[in-house]
Copies of this chain bind each other. A is one copy, B any other.
Amino acid sequence: MKQLIECVPNFSEGRDLSIIKQITDVIESVKGIRLINVDPGHATNRTVVTFVGEPEFVGEAAFRAIERASELIDMRYHKGEHPRFGATDVCPLVPVSDITMEETVEYARLLAKRVGNELNIPVYCYEYAAYEEKRRSLANCRSGEYEGLAEKMQTAEWMPDFGPTVFNARSGATAIGARNFLIAYNINLNTTSVRLANAIAFDVREAGRLQREGDPLTGKISTDENGEPVRIPGTLKKVRAIGWFIKEYGIAQISMNLTDITVTSVHEAFEEVCERARDRGIRVTGSELVGMIPLQAMLDAGKYFLRKQHRSVGIPDREIIKIAVKSLGLDELTPFDPENRIIECLLKNSGKQRCEKIQSIVRGKIG
């Protein structure tokens, strides 16, 4: 199996699509890179680009994109609703296939060093690529945003990891990191009730729900000795979740981000939601993957359901994937085409097909 990394740079331009096109063109100019998604936001004035490839080529494509963005985007004139501090605001690398997080961190740091040295842009390394604990958090690195950057960079605490120690007014700064693959995953319910969907979401998500005195919905929020609200954690680690109503389909969903599928996998999230929904008289009718999923996650899901049936897992991958799709009900709302949704399958086809804008990931984002 080839080593694969996904790269999800966010550029501070979401309105002028000709600029975005010039950036994605340089990404696609690199050998073997597959552009998976381009998701511009008007209000945020920001575009999320997703591409995948072998590590060296991903590094090269990311470098060229950051370079092109520094030529085309001028942060002195940027306005938008999303926090940001640079033309290329963030650039996370994500291990997808046959590669460890440690190796991915090395590629992220190599990229960071090159961007700092060759493009004269201050770079902060974050999440798994961070050199110190407080820089793991992207929010910490970016606090104060572009407008506060010149001053922040002068403090010893926030000297960039790479690049100039003086403010680059045109490009701002870029956070480059390594993080786990994030799966945007929605579970469909046989109800229109957002209240019920939220109740189940709060049962399972790591952040749980606020503890209240008396009535669990309207009672006074409990606080600890420091006056901080007390939370009752949910059952699933590394899971963010809320309930919402999807007008298009006329049903409520639990919309989840699975931020580390080595801790909570897709099928574990599904099964737990089925159980908690059941407790509340609700039936899970299917589910929906927003964006891409690694092959291994699909195979793990299929094998889990086969084992539960005491059936052999020694069947072809495509049969295992089929069991996963049927068991999770991934085709309930829209057809699920493994060729276009499983990262490894998509890449196999990259010679044949040009990039299309796949389903927008906007709906999968949780604040």
Contact = CB atoms under 8 A, between A and B. Distances in A.
B326 A190 contact: yes
Contacts of A319: 192
Interface stretch (A104-112, A116-124, A169-177, A308-316): A308-316
A329 B327 contact: no
B250 A311 contact: no
B309 A196 contact: yes
When all copies of this chain in the complex are counted, the total is 2
Contact of A190 (B188, B282, B305): B305
Interface string A294-307: 00000000000100
A323 interface: yes
A238 interface: no
A188 B286 CA distance: 13
Interface string A218-260: 0000000000000000000000000000000011000000000
B286 A329 contact: yes
Contact of A332 (B309, B322, B323, B329): B329
Interface in A278-295: 280-283, 285-286
Given A190-B323, A323-B191, A309 B329 contact: no
A193 interface: yes
9 closest A-B pairs by beta carbon, nearest first, are A281-B308, A190-B327, A281-B309, A190-B326, A285-B326, A191-B309, A283-B327, A285-B329, A282-B309
Given A191-B311, A285-B327, 20 more contacts: A188-B326, A190-B305, A190-B309, A190-B323, A191-B309, A192-B319, A192-B323, A193-B309, A196-B309, A250-B322, A251-B326, A280-B309, A281-B308, A282-B308, A283-B305, A283-B327, A285-B286, A286-B286, A286-B332, A331-B332
